[in-house]
Amino acid sequence: MLHPSCSSALRTGKAALNSNDPAGSATEIRLDTPAPTGNRRRNPVRMAAAGVVGVLAIGAAAFGISTAGDTGGADTPEAAVQTFLEAVDGEDAIGLLESVDPGERESLRRALDGTIDTTERAEITDDIDLDDIQGLDMTVADVDTTVQRFTDDMAGVDLTAGTVKANVAMNDLPFGKTVRDVLGDSTEDPDPASIDLRGVRVMTVRVDGSWYVSAAYTGAEALRRSIDPEPPLPDLGADVDPSGAATPEIAVQELAAAFNRGDVGAMIDLTSPARAAVLHDYRSMLVEQADMGPDGAKFSDLETEARSVRDDEATVRVTAFTLRTGDGAERYEYSLRDGCLRVTTEFQSVIETEDGEEQVVPDTRTADSCDPGETPDTFLYFSFGLFDMGGTGLTFDVVREGGRWFVDPLSSLATTVVNGLERTPLERLKQTAQAFAGADWLFYSDEFWEQCGIEKPGSDIGREDGLAAVDKCMAKFRKFDLYEEESSTATTEAGPN
């Protein structure tokens, strides 16, 4: 996991700023907050198309799941896939979710139910038509299928022919003011995309006599087939005897302990056999392919609290933890205490000495979700949203089966997302959306702009003017490795991410 600011920080340090004074003197500055990603500036149009369309899809799905009724599924596996593809072709979010396994749909519904309201309040989206999302034109054509039965209640539908063509009209997408301010009134549309469906296997399941598409099994099957073109079939539907735990809190604590050991099998054995059947069916493959080496993430100082304990269901909240990850060159620590998440990043910076030599020095950055000061790094916004939940902490849904307690992973993820959306400040959500839309200039520190002598642009300046301000500032630097390969003119097309 590469911290975006670290990626660029390795290329930054002290740079000489060409002064305009008559003596032509140079002032050395420290750029504590460089650009948020990589060697090349992101293409804002592509980032906006990918990021915001993703937000729209999630938001539309949220409302679609919560309002869609149970249509009873399809009579055959082929018909279930056909219904799914027809919804894609019609940009129909509601129809798309009606074709999904009801068990998965329920967790997705809870995870996404509040997304539309949140993105509307943050002015990221505006007036989405769920039956036909404007700005998206999806065309599914020439589909042929064959069917492979795995069990009486599970089948793989292989797409032997077919294409999906996608066009995005940026000006027609239901963006809100938060994104419109960055993109401006007129935005270049990304190139049309065409996806060849040949070789795709969509997994379907039969529930109460009707067939539905299963997102979980489709993903697991795609992973299995990516490992080996002709892999042995998994033992689907076989009886399992996982360990579980004596109490809900012990289930979560043992899950963290297994994670620290890199014991994927033990982690799966702590998940619900009924609600996480896909993990148990594909257990051997997941254990074999897992790579959790000595530099993997490790939890410590874990504190939990059981809530809403009923006969067969409970919620376990993680009220405190420390998570460390990384290697000798880059290390990260996430510490949740008293409702505040503190993120510490240790890495190496490259500085230029007075004699022109480059020197590698250790550097540390910290950010605190409860600190009212500026947190300019996009990565930290995602970290706060994932781990902090506005002070609620990570939450696991736990169920009792056969007298033992098991974690329900999909439901736990749903609860985590709901908590994060509800409690993340709107301003943080707005800035994250602006980052996806390509507003790189917002994530340079105030010190950066002060040293350049240029007033920091606001979010409503528009992409072209914002990037022009960055280019004007960077043109003053005698040496700045991060932008060495890029043009200093504002009119140059940004390279791919």
Higher pLDDT pick, 205 / 455: 205
As a dihedral over the C-alpha atoms of residue 464, residue 466, residue 467, residue 469, rounded to 10 degrees, the angle is 120
Model confidence at 7: pLDDT above 80: no
pLDDT at 201 (0 to 100): 94
Tell me how crowded residue 71 is: count the other CB atoms within 10 A of its CB: 12
Lowest pLDDT segment from 228-232, 268-272, 307-311: 228-232
pLDDT at 172 (0 to 100): 82
Alpha-carbon radius of gyration of the chain: 25
pLDDT digits (tens, 9 = 90+) for 254-281: 999 999 998 999 999 999 999 999 999 9
> Which band of pLDDT confidence, cut at 50, 70 and 90, is reported for residue 365?
confident
pLDDT at 404 (0 to 100): 95
Q: What integer is the mean pLDDT of 227-238?
A: 76
> Which band of pLDDT confidence, cut at 50, 70 and 90, is reported for residue 113?
low
pLDDT digits (tens, 9 = 90+) for 168-206: 888 888 888 988 888 876 677 888 889 999 999 999 999
Between CA 240 and CA 19 the distance in angstroms is 71
68 burial (CB, 10 Å; 0-12 / 13-18 / 19+) is buried
pLDDT at 218 (0 to 100): 94
Which range is most confident: 192-201, 283-292, 338-347, 455-464? 192-201
Q: What integer is the mean pLDDT of 211-228?
A: 91
Q: What percent of the chain has pLDDT over 90?
A: 28
Contact assessment for residue 212 and residue 74, using Cβ atoms and an 8 Å cutoff = yes
pLDDT at 435 (0 to 100): 77
Between CA 41 and CA 489 the distance in angstroms is 13
pLDDT at 462 (0 to 100): 81
Higher pLDDT pick, 159 / 307: 159
Model confidence at 493: pLDDT above 50: no
Between CA 183 and CA 92 the distance in angstroms is 26
Mean pLDDT taken over the chain: 75
Going by C-alpha positions, the residue among 383, 358, 379, 356 that lies closest to residue 369 is 383
> Which band of pLDDT confidence, cut at 50, 70 and 90, is reported for residue 28?
very low
pLDDT at 405 (0 to 100): 97
Model confidence at 482: pLDDT above 50: no
The amino acid at residue 478 is R
> Which band of pLDDT confidence, cut at 50, 70 and 90, is reported for residue 392?
low
Q: What integer is the mean pLDDT of 147-168?
A: 93
pLDDT at 246 (0 to 100): 95
H helix intervals, 196-355: 215-227, 248-261, 264-269, 277-281, 283-289
pTM here is 0.72
Between CA 389 and CA 412 the distance in angstroms is 13
Between CA 215 and CA 284 the distance in angstroms is 20
pLDDT digits (tens, 9 = 90+) for 413-450: 888 777 777 777 788 788 778 877 888 787 777 777 88
Q: What integer is the mean pLDDT of 28-45?
A: 36
Contact assessment for residue 138 and residue 165, using Cβ atoms and an 8 Å cutoff = yes
